[in-house]
């Protein structure tokens, strides 16, 4: 019998943690509390980091740069708590909250992009029908 892949297990736990963190903080805390081995905590964190970095790639440049800086700071928290399970749990909670922040920033960016595309389409339609010239002409009294 082969042992399970710890990286895959960490990614699965990371997905589960993120789902719980957004819905039920007590259950998220219970999930973290149930992970007792430092190695397992680190693999869970690696899963969270992979998710956050992948999702941050689709952010606009300024938010992406800010997310990268926050990831570096999270690395300092992780490194400072290498042998401290409670400290690693704090790091994991912060890493999860970072991913939720990235997702909320992406939702805002998506809404802004959709609004801009809608405005562009409306303007293009108005220009094509000839109504744009009349509506953008300066008025005189």
* Least confident window among 11-15, 41-45, 58-62, 134-138: 134-138
Which residue is it, tokens 């790091």?
91
Instruction: Encode pLDDT of 28-44 as tens digits.
Output: 999 999 999 999 999 99
Instruction: Encode pLDDT of 71-91 as tens digits.
Output: 999 999 999 999 999 999 999
CB 57 within 8 A of CB 64: yes
d(CA 44, CA 88): 10
d(CA 47, CA 9): 9
d(CA 50, CA 120): 35
Instruction: Encode pLDDT of 84-111 as tens digits.
Output: 999 999 999 999 999 999 999 999 988 9
d(CA 99, CA 107): 12
* pTM of this structure: 0.78
Cα-Cα-Cα-Cα dihedral sign, residues 45, 51, 54, 57: negative
d(CA 95, CA 56): 13
Of 63, 9, 61, the C-alpha closest to 35 is 9
């Amino acid at each position: 019998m082969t042992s399970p892949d710890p990286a895959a297990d960490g990614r699965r736990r990371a997905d589960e943690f993120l789902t719980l963190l957004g819905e039920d903080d007590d259950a998220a805390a219970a999930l973290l509390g149930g992970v007792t081995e430092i190695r397992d905590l680190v693999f869970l964190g690696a899963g969270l980091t992979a998710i956050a970095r992948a999702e941050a790639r689709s952010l606009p440049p300024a938010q992406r740069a800010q997310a990268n800086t926050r990831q570096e700071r999270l690395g300092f928290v992780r490194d400072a708590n290498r042998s401290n399970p409670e400290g690693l749990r704090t790091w994991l909670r912060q890493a999860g909250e970072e991913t939720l922040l990235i997702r909320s920033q992406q939702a805002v960016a998506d809404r802004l992009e959709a609004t801009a595309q809608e405005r562009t389409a409306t303007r293009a339609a108005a220009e094509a029908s000839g109504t744009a010239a009349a509506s953008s002409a300066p008025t005189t009294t």
